[in-house]
Amino acid sequence: MSDSTTPASQVLRLPPIRWWRGMRQLPLIPGAVLAVVVISAIFGPLFAPEAPTFGKLSSAFIPPAWAEGGSAAHLLGTDSLGRDLLSRLIYGARISLMVSFVAIFMAGTIGTALGLIAGYFGRGVDAVISRMVDVALALPTILMALVLVSVLRPGVGTVIIVIGSLTWANYTRQVRGEVLTVKERDYVVLARSIGSSDFRIMFRHILPNVFNTIIVLATLQVGAVILLEATLSFLGLGVPPPEPSWGQMVAEGRNYIVVAWWISVFPGMAIMLTVLSMNLAGDWLRDRLDPRLRQM
């Protein structure tokens, strides 16, 4: 008679194999990078060696600790005013994430509301909102941002308002397309037949079914917003000094790129790694939330 029991060695090997297969599907490296950025932004004062605006001219242009002439007190070196570069990078993460998250929340709220209205009511309302979307998407974002920030007073609040007001159209277009499909489903027709109000149908029955699309779009847009904020700061129209911003730090070091490369290189790498990690995390999230891609 054959033994139907599974050997203990095989039983012990199965969980690690399944665990490893599950771990391989996670964006581990992008997740680690984003975790470092988020922790630095939230708990910056606990990790920063110095205040980001404190500097001594006698400590200017100190190279990174591993380079010749470097100091362990300044792991990533100092800038032209003797300010610790690591501290400014940590505090710069707070500015970049705050601007991107608040601006995306603003753009997502406006764009989602307009998309729901356009897709649900259709006809004349849809035509007007769709033309607004076409105009907004036709405008060059960076040029419009430069004009608006130049007219308004530079500052964190101004940058958030400008970016939020220029990036809502993608949400409207995507949500409108989803609503046109969802509003024809049986549960929406049934809710309308029993006398549910339009407001209740849109926000109770339709919005939850397009929420995954909104989350994925917002995640993918974080990288673009960080780049836009860094571009404005690089051009001197973003976060005003002495508050640290990654784009501003790149701009401050461009005149010293030959003699003090670290001033521009490290914030530039922070921008690149953060944007790349957000894009990879957004791609992974889209694959996980889109049922059509999960079945492939």
| Residues 44-78: tens digit of each pLDDT | 888 888 889 888 888 899 999 999 888 888 999 99
For residue 118, what are the CA distances in angstroms to 18, 113, 167?
A: 45, 9, 17
How much is the pLDDT for 112? 94
Lookup result for tokens 């200017």: 60
Tens digit of pLDDT for each residue in 173-212? 999 999 998 988 888 888 888 888 888 899 888 998 898 8
Instruction: Give the up-direction half-sphere exposure of residue 145: CA atoms within 13 A in the CB hemisphere.
Output: 27
How much is the pLDDT for 123? 87
Amino acid at 230: A
Nearest-CA neighbor of 223 among 161, 288, 282, 285? 282
User: Given a cut of 70, is residue 293 above it in pLDDT?
Assistant: no
Lookup result for tokens 């792991």: 75
* Domains of the chain and CATH, by start: 83-294 (1.10.3720.10)
pLDDT, the chain, mean: 85
* Cβ count near 8 (within 10 Å): 8
Nearest-CA neighbor of 128 among 188, 172, 180, 178? 172
pTM value > 0.85 = no
How much is the pLDDT for 168? 94
